[in-house]
């Protein structure tokens, strides 16, 4: 089969390759991959900032396609089923355990820039019927993370959700939160992106260049109470403000470290307000299935900023690595 390989920890070390086509073993399905989507972790792997890779590797964690082969013992799936491939195929459900989460597609297992991939049948979930392959490919990491963020605080009517930035997780969280009836406050340094977020249903917009003390603005917008949920993507530069802007009993759901991974904060507000600071390792296959069902029920269309061909891996990775340029997700349409 044809594939794209990443040959070294560099953002320009991609090459086209021909590799053996996998055969589905007992309990597995063979998927013809039709689309993939980029995440920050893909750039971290390609830039040497993530542990575990052995080069060359087939990159990109997230993907979707159609089943073209079925191994022995598989009964619930059929040829031509449109499915989403989970990022960590051993993590089926429950709390993350090391032996379930250490193997990840695009890192220790073949990723999505390939014609085919063989995966355990219990590691794939049905695509929402209304989605394209490109849109479905955005769900394994971003969709699952957004879903788990909202579940961490049981967000619904009356809840206030704050989103930092307009990347893939933030925009999918915005769409899911509005479907659940929550009030959403979103931040960005771009008025144009804020306008796009408003068109998707965002209730309050904060340009953090013009309002660097955005946490104070959140408190103002909530009559001094704060937010029930803050999806914390910034890291070092934003974590203390997120703590300040969270309501008593609220949740800071940490998903990223764009400005750095080390944060110093005052513990007193966490203690006094009885806050929950929740880490995130994306989620299990069960979580992805729940997220896909919710997205299907609400007929949410994930926002894709740019779609690349598999031959444009260098350009796509550069776009993601530049930071702050895209709105929503970056995807690949795979046509070999």
**Neighbour order of strands in the sheet with 227-232:** 204-207, 183-188, 160-164, 227-232, 246-254, 276-278
- Maximal CA-CA distance, the chain: 61
pLDDT at 96: 87
pLDDT at 265: 84
The reply to whether 123 and 205 lie within a common domain is: no
Residue 155 within a domain: yes
Q: Which segments in the chain show pLDDT lower than 70?
A: 259-260
Residue 2 contacts residue 115 (beta carbons within 8 Å): yes
The reply to whether 158 and 268 lie within a common domain is: yes
Residue 41's CB is within 10 A of a number of other CB atoms, namely: 20
pLDDT at 261: 72
pLDDT at 99: 85
Q: How many angstroms separate the first and last alpha carbons of the chain?
A: 9
Locate 223 and state its tokens.
């009559």
Beta-ladder partners of 313 = none
The reply to whether 151 and 131 lie within a common domain is: no
**What is the domain-level CATH number for residue 328?**
3.90.180.10
Residue 221 within a domain: yes
Locate 165 and state its tokens.
């930035």
**What is the domain-level CATH number for residue 229?**
3.40.50.720
Residue 105 within a domain: yes
The reply to whether 45 and 125 lie within a common domain is: yes
pLDDT at 219: 98
Separation between Cα atoms, residue 27 and residue 41, nearest integer Å: 28
The SS3 of residue 169 is helix
> Range of 91's domain?
2-138+302-333
Measure the CA dihedral 62/63/67/70, to 10°.
Answer: -30
Residue 288 within a domain: no
The reply to whether 58 and 120 lie within a common domain is: yes
pLDDT at 2: 98
In this structure, what DSSP letter does residue 61 have? S
The reply to whether 155 and 214 lie within a common domain is: yes
The SS3 of residue 29 is strand
Measure the CA dihedral 331/292/324/58, to 10°.
Answer: -40
Residue 325's CB is within 10 A of a number of other CB atoms, namely: 13
Residue 295 within a domain: no
pLDDT at 262: 76
Q: How many domains does the chain have?
A: 2
Measure the CA dihedral 169/39/293/302, to 10°.
Answer: 60
Residue 292 within a domain: no
> Please, what sign has the CA dihedral across residues 167, 170, 173, 179?
negative
Residue 33 within a domain: yes
pLDDT at 317: 97
Distance of CA 249 to the CA centre of its chain: 26
Measure the CA dihedral 28/31/35/40, to 10°.
Answer: 20
pLDDT at 234: 80
pLDDT at 259: 66
Residue 111 within a domain: yes
The reply to whether 117 and 19 lie within a common domain is: yes
């Amino acid at each position: 089969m044809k594939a794209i390989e990443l040959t070294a920890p560099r953002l320009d070390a991609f090459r086209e390759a021909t590799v053996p086509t996998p055969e589905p073993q007992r309990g597995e399905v063979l998927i013809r991959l039709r689309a993939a989507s980029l995440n920050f972790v893909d750039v971290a792997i390609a830039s040497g900032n993530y542990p575990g890779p052995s080069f060359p590797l087939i990159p990109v964690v997230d993907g979707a396609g159609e089943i073209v082969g079925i191994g022995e013992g598989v009964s619930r799936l059929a040829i031509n089923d449109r499915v989403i491939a989970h990022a960590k195929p051993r993590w089926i459900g429950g709390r993350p355990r090391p032996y379930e989460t250490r193997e990840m597609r695009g890192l220790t297992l073949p990723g999505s820039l390939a014609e085919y991939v063989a995966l355990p049948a219990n590691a794939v979930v049905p695509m929402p019927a209304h989605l394209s392959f490109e849109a479905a490919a955005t769900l394994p990491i971003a969709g699952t993370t957004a879903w788990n963020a909202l579940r961490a605080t049981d967000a619904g009517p009356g809840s206030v959700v704050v989103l930092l930035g307009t990347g893939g997780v933030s925009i999918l969280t915005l769409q899911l939160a509005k479907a659940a009836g929550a009030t959403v406050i979103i931040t960005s340094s771009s008025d144009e992106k804020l306008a796009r977020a408003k068109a998707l249903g965002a209730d309050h917009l904060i340009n953090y260049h013009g309002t660097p003390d955005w946490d104070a603005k959140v408190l103002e917008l909530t009559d001094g109470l704060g937010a029930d949920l803050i999806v914390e993507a910034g890291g070092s530069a934003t974590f203390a403000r997120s703590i300040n802007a969270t309501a008593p009993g609220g949740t800071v759901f940490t998903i990223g470290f764009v400005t750095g991974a080390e944060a110093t904060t005052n513990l007193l507000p966490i203690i006094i307000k009885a806050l929950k600071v929740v880490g995130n390792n994306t989620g299990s296959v069960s979580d992805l299935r729940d997220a896909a069902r919710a997205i299907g029920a609400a007929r949410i269309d994930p926002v894709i900023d740019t779609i690349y061909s598999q031959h444009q891996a260098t350009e796509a990775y550069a776009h993601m690595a530049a930071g702050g340029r895209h709105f929503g997700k970056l995807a690949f349409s795979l046509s070999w």
